[in-house]
Structure 1
Amino acid sequence: GLNSPFGWDYILGDEGSGYEIGIKALRALMRAYDGRGESTLLSKTVLEDLNIKNISELIKWAYSDYFLKVRVAAIAKTVCKTAEMGDKISKKILKEEADEAIISVKTVVDKLCLADKEFDLVFVGNVFMCEKYFKSVLMRKLKSKFTKINFKSLTKKPVEGAIKLALENL
């Protein structure tokens, strides 16, 4: 069976992903812009990194063909950079999504009865390049729950693993 409580893609649920971080950043900067939310450096850094001059252009971008999942996910890198600049909202977004990823991992660990066993957790995706405010938070909290967990970073493309598994099962 499928042991994944997350990764259903951006419509049904993509918690802990670069896309979710990007969407939260866009929403936070819009809330800051219209006065419903706190001011945030994201208002500057996201526009700069998207090469967009103002909110009107951002709105056009959001409703154009350029608004692709991969482009929204790329905003996670900006959120990480902005968190490192001390931005409270960026740090909050990263903490929330790290917590979501932890819930997902815990769900799989519980389903597979791995809590007291040694197991590997492989980090896949650019969001794990955000060391200080995402990856290290995730690792610290998971290690406190599952003392025998081993953390690995993906060294090959996922398709290579799929091909290897397919060949082994011929």
Structure 2
Amino acid sequence: MTRADLILGIDGGGSKTVAWLASRDDPTESAVLGRGRSGAANMRTTDFASVTAHLHEAIGEAFQRAGIERDCVASACFALAGAGGPEEQARVQQWATGEVATKVTVTNDALPVLDAGTPEGWGIVIVSGTGSFAMARDRSGNLRRCGGWGPTLGDEGSGYAIALAGLRAAIRSFEQRGPTTSLLTRFLDAFELERPSGLISAVYREDARQRIAHHVPLVFTASREGDTVAREIVSRSANQLADLAIALAAQMDFGAEPIPLACSGGVLIHQAEFCQQLTAILRAKGVNCEPTTIVINPVAGTLQLASRA
């Protein structure tokens, strides 16, 4: 197999980067030749040197697992969080062209989800991982985006935002300026701390965002076990994600037919009840999303895009 036969699909988010190596003739998930993964590749929250290092690492591992000597492939698609603007895309394209692939496509991390998770490539995408955002494409190819403003300005309903809300509620509970919640004990156990004061050094670190988001399952577990504070956080977060899709549906020309919905990101993939809560809110507010698909491997969509480039 020569380099002209090979393509790469790379999906990079706020927590991890995944690279798949495949043949241009068969870019399906079942025929992937090699798979690699590494750290975060969010263009807005990770410095570019770290982004490219993680891309190199994931791509290198994909070649290694395929048993193929690393080379410049025919086509590669990079779907990276924070790479929705022309400046970020041009920077990645300049770095990758000629070194990673002859033909390089750079896009945000929503289009591959839309490609992999809707029957005809149009509909709404909601992503909730470390960050969050939504995107819509109508039958005419018109695109709109909502959310994705990063942890300072937005990311409502994301893993980071939910976990941070849980931590803040735990602290308010400890200081008796908020309702009692099991989240305090849960977070102390997760961080292996004896006292709440230890949370300061535990979270104020260089990798704070990823470290906090990693503990979002604690909030969902507490919610399922009846913690009213955690339930309120989860409910509010589901409504915030629904608001993104509702805003897009109002702006797009979808007509009266049901709108295909593709959901992805670690939160929506691993928290099935949360995803069901989200779609129930959409239905209650008049947005009929059918079918709804959970896209477990968005990188599969990047292979499809690379094969068509």
Could you state the TM-score of these two structures normalised by the residue count of structure 2?
0.50
Q: Which string of whole-angstrom CA distances, capped at 9 and with x for unpartnered residues, describes residues 10-51 of structure 1? A: 122101111110110111111111121111000011221222
**Is residue 89 of structure 1 aligned with residue 229 of structure 2?**
yes
Letter in 1 for 2:250: D
Task: Specify which structure has the higher proportion of helix.
Answer: 1
In the TM superposition, 1:62-141 aligns within 5 A as 62-67=203-208, 69-114=209-254, 116-128=256-268, 129-132=270-273, 134-141=274-281
Alignment partner, residue 154 of structure 2: 13
Report how far residue 2 of structure 1 moved.
Answer: 5.4
Write the distance in 1 (CA, Å) between the matches of 2:195 and 2:255.
49
Q: Does 1:3 align with 2:134?
A: no
Asked if 2 retains the 8 angstrom alpha-carbon contact of 1:121 and 1:151, the reply is yes
What do the CA deviations read for 1:120-141 (whole angstroms, capped 9, x no partner)?
Answer: 2111122222233x22211112
If asked which structure has higher relative contact order (CA below 8 Å, sep 6+), I would say 1
Structure possessing the higher radius of gyration over alpha carbons: 2
Is the CA contact 2:261–2:289 (under 8 Å) kept in the aligned structure 1? no
- The CA distance in 2 between the partners of 1:135 and 1:84, in whole Å, is 14
Instruction: Report deviation, 1:8.
Output: 2.1
Which of the pair is proportionally richer in strand? 2
Q: Deviations over 1:106-131 (max 9, x none)?
A: 11112222262232211112222223
Q: Counterpart amino acid of 1:61?
A: A
Please say if 1:159 is aligned against 2:299. yes
Any unmatched runs of 5+ in structure 1? none
Q: Is the contact between residue 21 and residue 75 of structure 1 (CA under 8 Å) also seen in structure 2?
A: no
State the secondary structure of the residue aligned to 1:14: coil
Task: Tell me if the contact between 1:7 and 1:13 (Cα under 8 Å) persists in the aligned partners.
Answer: yes
SS of 2:145 mapped into structure 1: coil
Q: For residues 253 and 157 of structure 2, what CA distance do their matches in structure 1 show?
A: 22
Identity %: 26
Task: Report the TM-score when normalising by structure 1.
Answer: 0.87
